[in-house]
Each structure stands twice: as C-alpha cells, then as structure tokens.
Amino acid sequence: MTLRHIRLSTIDESHCVAHVAWRATYARKDQPDTDIDFEVHYLVQVLDGDAKVFGWVSGDEQALLKQHGIG
C-alpha cells in the first residue's frame, strides 16, 4: 500500500476528517501487477495534542476488487 495524498477538512476545533488516498498494488501469477486507487475518510479527534481516529468511511472494497478481477 502506498499513501498518495492526505487532505484535511476541519469540523470544529477538536475534530476533522482526513481524506486519505491510497494505492494498493496486487501481484498475480502470470498477469501484470494491478494498481487500485481508493480513498478512506477517517474521523479524527484531537485532545491534548494527541490525534485519535474514532471512525472511518470507505467504499465497497469487495466490489472494487471484483471490478479489477481480484478475489
């Protein structure tokens, strides 16, 4: 997995959404590697300078894998 990009959207002084773009590379026998780009949106709370992820939203990962002939 490779991190492609992070964008932050502030909700209030203690919360934000981190929009994180990833690239997963799948190596398959007798076929070229397959790169799949996707995003996960992490809900983040910052208290006393410490950031903690308390939830996330992602797409249908199984459907995305099937779309690329994986799984």
Pick the CATH number of 2-59 from 3.40.50.1100, 3.10.450.50, 1.20.140.160, 1.10.10.10: 3.10.450.50
Return the DSSP state at 71: -
Q: What pLDDT, on the 0 to 100 scale, is given for residue 31?
A: 87
Q: Which of 14-23, 27-36, 52-61 has the lowest mean pLDDT?
A: 27-36
**Predicted pLDDT at 46:** 97
pLDDT tier at 56 (50, 70, 90 boundaries)? very high
- Rounded percentage of the chain residues whose pLDDT exceeds 70: 100
On the question of pLDDT at 30 being above 90, the answer is: no
Residue with tokens 């490779």: 2
Q: Where are the domains of the chain?
A: 2-59
Q: How many angstroms separate the first and last alpha carbons of the chain?
A: 17
